[in-house]
Amino acid sequence: MASFRKQGTSWQARVRRRGYPVEIKSFPTKAEAERWARAIEGEMDRGEFVSHTEAEQTTFGEIIQRYMETITPKKRGHVEETIRLKATLRHRIASMSMANLTPQAVADYRDDRLRTCKANTVIRDLAVMSSIIHHARRKWGIVIQNPVEMIRKPTMPPGRDRVLSEAEEIRLLHELAPTGRRNPIMQPLVVVAIETAMRRGELLSLRWNHVHLERRVIFLPITKNGQSRFVPLSSRAVVTIEKLPCSPDNRLFPINIAAMEAAFLRAVRRANLADLHFHDLRHTGASRMASKLPNVIELASVTGHTSLQMLRRYYHPKAEELALKLG
């Protein structure tokens, strides 16, 4: 049964029905309140009613905050995700109720982000947003459709194919030589990165107890895809690691990401190397290994890729080398 009450300049409609929570909503006019109440009662009569009260009373920002406090800390990439979610909280979309989180609102957010960020970043933003909404629907009783699934995602840019030549490597290592105030960790870090094709995070998290020089392997207990793996070491990698000093915290490369990236960028500029990122060293290592490990299963076991499609983004054979193999 529906009841109506005037409150100031608005009309409040209240619908009570056994087996359903009380539904309350305010409208500018009594006629609008009555239409809403009839629609709610009709859905209840047909057994189609789903309460949207929680979605109407909860903002997207409150859901993000709750997710950031309860779910994000359990993830391995919690630091990066926290930064991403705090940026979303500063956007106007965070002030919208979950019920008003429409595909158009998400599309506007996408377009705003694309003005200042690259497509890859926006794609990851939308993926995290979609995960939060799915979790809120399954676990927290927020009854809405996922608007992220209804919008067009930015086009994924082609993968980078920048590979360091041997001459460029010599120039880069020269600029990383431990002279003056340069960090002595950087040169061996770059050598090991090229020789193993390991990811940046894997390198910086290495501990001495992970290294087995007598077996010429490094054990990675946890990786990006959630699996552990052994990484074989070349003779050059073994010699480089043997010369590393022991650090108080047992890390092979005691340097944080920000300091490492800054030092690498300065060396790239001094060496006059165009468009070179640290991650390109992984491309370089994978491409060089491919000539020694033609079996893609062996190559994937070294690089840690779980699909051939992803491995192809890191393997960049030269046409001249392929021509020599053809004879």
Higher pLDDT, 76 or 273: 273
Q: Per-residue pLDDT tens for 20-56?
A: 777 778 888 888 888 878 887 777 777 666 666 777 7
- At 322 the pLDDT is 66
Kindly list the distances between the CA atom of residue 169 and the CA atoms of 59, 99, 176, 231, 260, in Å, as whole numbers in the listed order. Answer: 51, 55, 10, 22, 17
> Each residue of 273-324: pLDDT tens digit?
988 999 999 888 888 887 777 666 667 767 776 666 666 666 666 677 667 7
Distance CA 110, CA 155 (A): 12
Q: Which two tokens stand for residue 235?
A: 């003779």
- Residue 69 pLDDT grade (very low, low, confident, very high; cuts 50, 70, 90): very high
The pLDDT of residue 275 is 87
**Is residue 147 pLDDT above 80, yes or no?**
yes
User: Who wins on pLDDT, 181 or 270?
Assistant: 270
Q: Is the pLDDT of residue 75 over 70?
A: yes
* More confident of the two residues 79 and 115: 115
> Residue 282 corresponds to which amino acid?
R
Q: What are phi and psi of 259, to 5 degrees?
A: -65, -40
Catalytic residue IDs: 199, 224, 279, 282, 305, 314
Q: What is the mean pLDDT of residues 65-90?
A: 90
Q: In whole angstroms, give the CA distance from residue 248 to residue 233.
A: 24
The DSSP bridge partners found for residue 217 are 212, 232
CATH class of the domain comprising 60-150: mainly alpha
Predicted pLDDT at 35: 87
Q: What is the pTM of this model?
A: 0.62
Which 8-state DSSP code applies to residue 155? P
Residue type, position 95, single letter = S
CA–CA–CA angle 316, 318, 270 (5° rounding): 75
Partnered with residue 97 across adjacent β-strands are: 59
In degrees to the nearest 10, what's the CA dihedral of 155, 156, 159, 160? 70
166-326 CATH, one of 1.10.443.10, 3.10.105.10, 1.10.645.10, 1.20.1260.10: 1.10.443.10
